[in-house]
Amino acid sequence: MNIIKSLPLLTLLGLFTACGVTKTDTDTNTNSNPIETTNRGRANTDVAVKGDRSNRSQQLSTETPNKELSRKQIEEAAKARNQKMFVDLAMTEEQVKKFNNEWNRTLQNWNKNNRNRVMNSFERTELQDNILSNILSETQFKNYRVWARENAGSRLD
């Protein structure tokens, strides 16, 4: 008979233990949302919840500031590297103009075929080899190969 009387009490006690007790924060500087302030052992504590939870719809962010920033830095470094190459190889203005025209066209084609990718140093060198072999004289191209080997350590990717 005692077991039958204590069964509802044990059930109620088990229910309170399983569900946990919601706590509200009395501090005015913190969020008083009981969902965010209590951890009942079932929540994924690795995922931080930020902001107001009153809006329950998911919102996707399309911002990628780090990727865009690095892409701009890579482009600026590539331009600086090209300027250094023009000076070191003693390229004429006509050769520089031809290279820039071909390089811009090649970059457009590469970007069209390789969306959402950043060109690495090896790919850049291969494309520049193809362009410069048609523009430079034999001695300049030999100097370019030496220059490319010496400057291979300055990676842009």
Phi, psi at 92, each rounded to 5°: -75, 165
Give the model's pLDDT for residue 102: 94
Whether residue 123 lies inside any domain: the answer is: yes
Whether residue 135 lies inside any domain: the answer is: yes
Whether residue 151 lies inside any domain: the answer is: yes
Whether residue 49 lies inside any domain: the answer is: no
d(CA 82, CA 131): 13
Total tally of structural domains belonging to the chain: 1
What is the DSSP code (8-state) at residue 44?
Answer: -
Give the model's pLDDT for residue 157: 46
How far is the CA of 84 from the CAs of 80, 98, 144, 151, in angstroms?
A: 6, 16, 11, 10
Phi, psi at 18, each rounded to 5°: -70, -40
The contacts of residue 41 (CB under 8 Å, 6+ apart) are 20
Whether residue 83 lies inside any domain: the answer is: no
Task: Encode pLDDT of 33-76 as tens digits.
Answer: 555 555 555 655 555 555 555 555 455 555 555 555 577 887 78
pTM score > 0.85 for this model? Answer: no
Whether residue 132 lies inside any domain: the answer is: yes
Whether residue 14 lies inside any domain: the answer is: no
Whether residue 96 lies inside any domain: the answer is: yes
Domain of residue 139, residue span = 90-157
Task: Encode pLDDT of 105-115 as tens digits.
Answer: 998 998 898 88
Give the model's pLDDT for residue 52: 52
Say what percent of the chain tops pLDDT 90: 17
Phi, psi at 77, each rounded to 5°: -65, -35
Between the ranges 38-47, 76-85, 126-135, where is the mean pLDDT highest? 126-135
